[in-house]
């Protein structure tokens, strides 16, 4: 991994006042729109523009543990996300997006490589994405982009294979502690710092980015940590309230970033994407957190594309899509080569069909998710859990002995509370066939199973401190 330019010493911030920063956002917004208005057909022209003018930057915002249904623009009643909502209203919002797993590493391996978990095989705490895999940063780097990743989640650290293609891939040093972190207080291994550090690193990068096209990946962690600043409004004291407060805080940091993009006149040549690796459970099915099952509260994630122009009105896409579709779509929009062996597809034809009012949309595809139950168990075998969604039906299948199935009608029962399998086993047969094919055809496109890495006890403790149970 090279670290030329954007030296890591720049990431040592101390004492910058976030309140000042957020006040600046409002000032930038007063400058008025810095993006032209365009119709959806302009989406189809971006690839040609970028091939000819080579002028499109890409900012990829990954908000760890963000449920779609907790954002205003996805229908939430609380005002958790004013900046994200504004971005979505002038862009493209996908209403029904399924993440391919419910913990960071498996899900991010799918997101980056556009392959299903069964294919990339990065399923357990010690699995590593091999160098033979192609990641989007490698394609962007090859195309001349400066590639910068700033992250705070230990599951995406270089050791697990996620730095491939990045010129700079850093965890920002913790600045002055201004956060109230809910869950981790008192834990000596708790994640230090906050997404303010990550935001300040990003603002510093933008200040010095120069004329070269860039790809900037920011992996926000404060929602995962239920961490927030006193400047964000309180919604109450229960876990879901603190979670909402952390979303509001993260949204204000996204607002600060957008303000900086406006300040540097980058909005009309930057494609912005907001996505999440999984959601979070609040006892809808008896458990809290994530990485323990595959129910909707942990797999329904947001996806927002914000092109370098304003769509008025913005587009909302109802068809079910998945996180493996994200990078095929972005590379298509940028006019760059696709990921080899991808399980995903570009969503551009779907967006254009929707925008044009076409009655014939690209056919809906079955969408898969997978989790190894016991992925953090050092000694015991893991048990695979799968889900397949097709139309309004969703089957969840566990390979315990004996196998266990659940079937849900998402149209009538979006919260997946009423298991139909006991009465509708025959109806589930088609979905079971899809799952059998999913497993039977599993094969990494790069022809190599995941590597296994030794993780020292100290690092395991740090990962445990993220709230995961990695058992001894």
Q: Which residues of this chain interact with Zn ion, rule CB under 5 A?
A: 64, 104, 277
Annotate 298-309 with DSSP letters as a single string.
HHEEEEEEE-SS
Answer whether 217's CB lies under 8 Å from 148's CB: yes
Measuring CA to CA, which residue among 343, 280, 368, 356 is closest to residue 317?
356
Residue 225 or 346 having the CB closest to Zn ion = 225
The distance of closest approach from Cβ of residue 111 to Zn ion in the complex, given in angstroms and rounded to an integer, is 11
Residue 104 or 110 having the CB closest to Zn ion = 104
Residue 157 or 406 having the CB closest to Zn ion = 157
Residue 298 or 389 having the CB closest to Zn ion = 298
Which of left, alpha, beta for 372 (phi over 0: left; psi -120 to 50: alpha)? beta
The distance of closest approach from Cβ of residue 63 to Zn ion in the complex, given in angstroms and rounded to an integer, is 9
Which residues 6+ apart lie within 8 Å of 377 measured at CB? Answer: 470, 471
3-state helix, strand, coil in the chain (%, to 5): 35, 20, 45
The distance of closest approach from Cβ of residue 246 to Zn ion in the complex, given in angstroms and rounded to an integer, is 13
The distance of closest approach from Cβ of residue 153 to Zn ion in the complex, given in angstroms and rounded to an integer, is 6
Residue 109 or 261 having the CB closest to Zn ion = 109
Intra-chain end-to-end CA distance of the chain, in Å: 31
Alpha-carbon separation of residue 368 from 17, 101, 161, 294, 441 (angstroms): 43, 9, 23, 10, 13
Using Cβ positions, the residue closest to Zn ion within the complex turns out to be 104
Pairing of strands 92-98, 315-317: parallel
Residue 104 or 168 having the CB closest to Zn ion = 104
E runs forming strands in 347-416: 367-373, 383-390, 393-398, 404-409
The distance of closest approach from Cβ of residue 225 to Zn ion in the complex, given in angstroms and rounded to an integer, is 11
Alpha-carbon separation of residue 93 from 47, 76, 224, 283, 344 (angstroms): 20, 15, 22, 27, 18
The distance of closest approach from Cβ of residue 149 to Zn ion in the complex, given in angstroms and rounded to an integer, is 15
Residue 64 or 332 having the CB closest to Zn ion = 64
The distance of closest approach from Cβ of residue 289 to Zn ion in the complex, given in angstroms and rounded to an integer, is 10
With both helix axes pointing from N to C terminus, report the angle between 239-263 and 82-89 in degrees, rounded to the nearest 10.
60
């Amino acid at each position: 991994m090279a670290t030329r330019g954007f030296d890591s010493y720049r990431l040592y911030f101390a004492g910058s006042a976030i309140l000042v920063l957020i006040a600046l956002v409002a000032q930038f917004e007063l400058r008025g729109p810095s993006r032209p208005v365009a119709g959806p057909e302009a989406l189809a022209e971006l690839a040609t523009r970028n091939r000819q003018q080579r002028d499109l930057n890409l900012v990829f915002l990954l908000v760890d543990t963000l449920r779609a249904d907790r954002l205003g623009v996805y229908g939430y009643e609380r005002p958790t996300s004013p900046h994200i909502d504004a971005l979505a209203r002038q862009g493209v919002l996908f209403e029904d997006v399924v993440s391919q797993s419910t913990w960071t590493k498996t899900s991010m391996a799918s997101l980056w490589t556009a392959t299903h978990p069964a294919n990339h095989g990065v399923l357990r705490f010690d699995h590593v994405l091999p160098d033979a895999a192609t990641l989007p940063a490698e394609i962007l780097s090859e195309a001349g982009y400066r590639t910068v990743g700033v992250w705070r989640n230990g599951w995406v650290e270089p050791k697990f294979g996620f730095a491939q293609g990045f010129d700079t891939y850093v965890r920002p040093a913790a600045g002055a502690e201004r956060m109230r972190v809910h869950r981790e207080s008192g834990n000596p291994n708790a994640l230090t710092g906050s997404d303010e550090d990550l935001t300040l690193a990003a603002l510093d990068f933008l200040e010095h980015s120069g004329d070269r096209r860039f790809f900037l990946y920011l992996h926000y962690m404060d929602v995962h940590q239920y961490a927030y600043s006193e400047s964000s409004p309180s919604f109450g004291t229960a876990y879901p309230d603190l979670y909402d407060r952390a979303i509001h805080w993260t949204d204000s940091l996204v607002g600060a970033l957008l303000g900086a993009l406006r300040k540097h006149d980058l909005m009309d040549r930057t494609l912005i994407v907001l996505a999440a690796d999984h959601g979070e459970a609040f006892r809808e099915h008896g458990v809290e957190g994530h990485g323990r099952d595959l129910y909707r509260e942990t797999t329904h994630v947001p996806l927002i594309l914000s092109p370098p122009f304003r769509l008025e009105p913005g587009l909302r896409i109802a068809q079910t899509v998945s996180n493996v579709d994200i990078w095929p779509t972005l590379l298509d929009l940028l006019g760059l080569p696709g990921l080899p062996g991808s399980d995903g597809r570009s969503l551009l034809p779907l967006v254009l069909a929707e925008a044009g009012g076409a009655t014939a949309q690209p056919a809906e595809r079955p969408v898969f998710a997978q989790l190894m139950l016991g992925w953090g168990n050092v000694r015991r075998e893991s048990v695979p859990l799968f889900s397949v969604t097709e139309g309004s039906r969703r089957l969840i299948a566990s390979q315990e002995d004996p196998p266990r199935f659940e079937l849900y009608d998402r149209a009538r029962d979006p919260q997946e509370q009423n298991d139909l399998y006991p009465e509708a086993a025959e109806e589930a047969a088609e979905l079971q066939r899809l799952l059998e094919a999913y497993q039977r055809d599993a094969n990494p496109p790069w022809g190599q199973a995941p590597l296994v890495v030794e993780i020292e006890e100290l690092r395991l403790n740090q990962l445990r401190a993220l709230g995961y149970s990695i058992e001894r």
